[in-house]
Amino acid sequence: MPQTRLIGLVGGMSWESSALYYRLVNETMQRRAGGHHNASSILVTLDFEPLLQAGAGGRWDEVAGAIAQAGQRLARAGADFFLLTANTAHRFADEVQRSAGLPLLHIGTPTAGALRAAGLQRAGLIGTRHVTAPGFYRDWYQIHHGIELVPPGAADCAMLDAIIVDELTHGRIDAGSRRRVLAVIDRMRLAGLQAVVVGCTELPLLLDGAPAPLACYDTTRLHAEAAVELALATPS
């Protein structure tokens, strides 16, 4: 196998999903290249607690600064491009990419591509309260790809956020929480939606293997797979 590009990963948001990324990236590379091939990657892990506290206090400049510094470390380490292994972190995608001076593979790019390939311009959205709220995440899909993402109601959004932050980021997989998330997706189906974007990199830990009432577009898996394709691509 020819030499591949070096994948940079900004992780720790949370480490549970960063570990999932590492597994998915290497599973994908082994599937694509065969044998015992691994993806060539570098992971910079951030301390999640200060980021959560800063975000809760509205000090988003501190969060952006920490993520930008991680991107700079990846650039110095020789990464050819990098990923932010959290949907919420893409609130700062543009400034982090400028600061790092590296190409950023946006988490929404492969998911939007998959939706459009399926002929979908409208889909449900589940994730943290920052992702489901009006603003950066939903706007990005609409502006760049003409895709409307529809979140659940306010009570469901609050429940999803609590499950993600209080359970999944601590590695707690609860069957009752899985049923509640699947019920949210089913309510989206009843509202006429045909698919849902899983816009949280911890939710696949809960939903893996569970039969969902709608087609689920897993941003984590699609992002990891796209990273391997980019790493394998012949430089132009």
Which residue is associated with the tokens 């960063």?
18
Rg (CA), the chain: 17
pLDDT of 73 reads: 97
137-172 pLDDT, tens digit per residue, is 999 999 999 999 999 999 999 999 999 999 999 999
Could you tell me the pTM of the whole model? 0.95
How far is it, in rounded angstroms, from Cα 164 to Cα 175? Answer: 14
Provide the percentage of residues in the chain whose pLDDT is more than 70: 98
In this structure, which topology does domain 108-219 adopt according to CATH?
Answer: Rossmann fold (3.40.50)
Does the domain made of 7-106+222-232 have the CATH classification 3.90.1170.50? Answer: no
| pLDDT band (50, 70, 90) for residue 85 | very high
The 10 Å Cβ neighbour count of residue 209 is 6
Q: Give the pairing of strands 195-199 and 215-218.
A: parallel
7-106+222-232 and 108-219 in the same fold: yes
99-151 pLDDT, tens digit per residue, is 999 999 999 999 999 999 999 999 999 999 999 999 999 999 999 999 999 99
Distances (CA, A) of 7 to 28, 73, 81, 113, 140: 13, 13, 6, 21, 23
| Mean per-residue pLDDT, 27-55 | 95
Whether the pLDDT of residue 1 is over 80: the answer is no
Whether the pLDDT of residue 225 is over 60: the answer is yes
pLDDT of 236 reads: 54
Up-side HSE of residue 185: CA atoms within 13 Å toward CB? 24
- Let me know: does 83 contact 10? Beta carbons within 8 Å: yes
54-81 pLDDT, tens digit per residue, is 999 999 999 999 999 999 999 999 999 9
- Let me know: does 95 contact 71? Beta carbons within 8 Å: no
How far is it, in rounded angstroms, from Cα 158 to Cα 162? Answer: 6
pLDDT of 3 reads: 79
pLDDT of 178 reads: 97
169-222 pLDDT, tens digit per residue, is 999 999 999 999 999 999 999 999 999 999 999 999 999 888 999 999 999 999
Domain limits of the chain?
Answer: 7-106+222-232, 108-219
Whether the pLDDT of residue 2 is over 80: the answer is no
Provide the percentage of residues in the chain whose pLDDT is more than 90: 96
